[in-house]
Chains A and B, each alone.
Chain A
């Protein structure tokens, strides 16, 4: 499913946070949203998820405005993983992941075979099967983060919007996470990820949207966007784009004056 934002303006408490943002995420692609802190990445993701009302412009999912979608149908098509990783009660990991199945369950119905299968698959994909019966509140930050990603995966959406899902994960689980996003894209899903790790973006994302000050500065393939000029202009860093054994890496070598 294609997800698109046209001329999107968002004001939060009277302060413009997004200004004239054009954005498109295609099926079968992992799209990265990158940019410095406060660039508007999270706000764009929330707007794409239909969680805030833009002051101008539209968000289209599958060609239809988000407001025209029926609430339940949108929840089955689109999953949103917030940056904030709060879990308010001491649910087990499995119970948390099962929440992702709510949009698929008619009111009053228990878990179907499809639900159980989706929950098991999501737990396995995020390598948290061994944590399934443990309360989420007793876990480490990275473990909890993986359980919450598994919750979004269990939703089996056409579009996955994930806000900094890799933050706090160890390198092995970061790689596994993005490899899984790549697999989802390979299966025709649309994946949109906000992140700070430029090497992960270069390696796993098909398209990169670079944001700065509430605007989109550049859009394109990793080679097009992760140039020394762009990174210098937006992050004020001296960074090199290189490949090591065929793997692209972006290395910040220093701050610019």
Chain B
């Protein structure tokens, strides 16, 4: 009897190959689309300058940040065995936001632009260490979520405090805009600063495939299959902190990519959490690059920030997810 096509095992090479090709196309599209048509309107030196200083950093950041968000979302969902998990759950985004807002509040970023991403990175690192210390070394997924929520709440409270106490309206506007997330006007030095951290985090998260596959059967069965749960947890936390922390440090908060992308790709990956990791990495890059291209096309009419767009798209998706989960859990 031939199996139904929908239930056949996914062809991993085909899936990842198609996603990689789509990611390359999205990257090239991101390089090509903008208010000025390069080569046609602006040949020569000026065009090359725009390409090097504006388009390239923006496309590279879009790809790396999207990959970080998609991959860490898939890793967290797999580790926590919960389809509603998201990178911001472990407190890293909140910590990065607090670090960034503090550098603006204290006026450091006005003095030296690079202190902002550095402050955000430091905030992400502190948040991660606090979460790990709170959750304990032996705690399960639930303690990790609770510790992440606790740290996120503290970070949010302190961000509100900084906004509240801000004397300088320009600083306030800068903080609010930073919290919305954007890929625009990022410089190459900012890319060079954050890229190694994002790449390191991505590398750590990609090591998780076997462990997440085994965790499908629960923690005991995974351990009996030779999986080191402590190492798995460390890889999840460190990988998410590095990749999402560095991503948030440069772009601000971009939500929902880590939630939507793994969810959309899961059926294509045969629901296998291991295969979902590289798939979500590529899918995240595609989604963020395309969202950014869409923003640039919309720009003549509406100057939207990418974090706002992903939230506008993501929140209804989340509602739909809750309704779907409810109907699945219904007796």
Q: Interface on A for B, CB 8 Å cutoff? A: 46, 49-51, 71-72, 74-76, 78-82, 84, 86-92, 94-96, 99-100, 102-103, 107, 130, 132-135, 148, 151, 155
Q: Is the interface of B mostly helix, strand, loop or mixed?
A: loop
| Given known contacts A87-B216, A91-B216, A102-B213, A133 and B224 CB-to-CB distance under 8 angstroms | no
Choose from A75, A88, A92 the contact partner of B7 (Cβ within 8 Å): A92
Is B1 close to A, CB under 8 A? yes
CB distance from A191 to the nearest CB of B (A): 15
Contact sample, A vs B, 30 pairs, CB 8 Å cutoff: A46-B220, A50-B224, A51-B223, A75-B225, A75-B226, A76-B226, A78-B224, A81-B221, A82-B217, A82-B218, A86-B217, A88-B216, A88-B217, A89-B266, A90-B271, A91-B216, A92-B7, A92-B270, A94-B9, A95-B271, A96-B216, A96-B217, A99-B217, A102-B227, A132-B3, A133-B3, A133-B9, A135-B7, A151-B217, A151-B221
Choose from B218, B224, B225, B272 the contact partner of A84 (Cβ within 8 Å): B218
| Separation of A139 and B235 alpha carbons in the complex (Å) | 33
B91: A residues at CB distance < 8 A: none
| Separation of A46 and B221 alpha carbons in the complex (Å) | 10
| Given known contacts A87-B216, A90-B271, A99-B213, A133 and B4 CB-to-CB distance under 8 angstroms | yes
Choose from B7, B224, B226, B270 the contact partner of A51 (Cβ within 8 Å): B224
Choose from A79, A95, A99, A107 the contact partner of B270 (Cβ within 8 Å): A95
Interface size class of B (residues with CB under 8 A): 20 to 34
A89 touches B7 (CB 8 A): no
A107 touches B210 (CB 8 A): yes
| Separation of A96 and B224 alpha carbons in the complex (Å) | 15
A151: B residues at CB distance < 8 A: 217, 221
B8 touches A87 (CB 8 A): no
A80 touches B221 (CB 8 A): yes
Q: Is the interface of A mostly helix, strand, loop or mixed?
A: mixed
B271 touches A91 (CB 8 A): yes
Is B60 close to A, CB under 8 A? no
A88: B residues at CB distance < 8 A: 81, 215-218
| Given known contacts A88-B81, A89-B271, A92-B7, A79 and B217 CB-to-CB distance under 8 angstroms | no
* Residues 208-238 of chain B, each 1 if its beta carbon lies under 8 Å from chain A, else 0: 0010011111101101111110000000000
Is B273 close to A, CB under 8 A? yes
A91 touches B270 (CB 8 A): yes
CB distance from B126 to the nearest CB of A (A): 32
B216: A residues at CB distance < 8 A: 87-89, 91, 96, 99
B81: A residues at CB distance < 8 A: 88-89
Chain B: which residue is nearest A100 at the CB level? B225
| Separation of A92 and B215 alpha carbons in the complex (Å) | 15
B223: A residues at CB distance < 8 A: 50-51
Chain B: which residue is nearest A161 at the CB level? B224
B213 touches A51 (CB 8 A): no
| Separation of A194 and B57 alpha carbons in the complex (Å) | 61
| Separation of A66 and B320 alpha carbons in the complex (Å) | 47
CB distance from A46 to the nearest CB of B (A): 7
| Given known contacts A46-B220, A51-B223, A133-B8, A102 and B270 CB-to-CB distance under 8 angstroms | no
The 9 A-B pairs with the shortest beta carbon distances in the complex, nearest first, are A75-B226, A133-B3, A80-B224, A88-B81, A89-B271, A90-B271, A133-B7, A103-B226, A72-B226
| Separation of A134 and B214 alpha carbons in the complex (Å) | 19
B220 touches A71 (CB 8 A): no
| Separation of A89 and B214 alpha carbons in the complex (Å) | 11
Chain B: which residue is nearest A76 at the CB level? B226
Chain B: which residue is nearest A134 at the CB level? B7
| Separation of A96 and B220 alpha carbons in the complex (Å) | 15
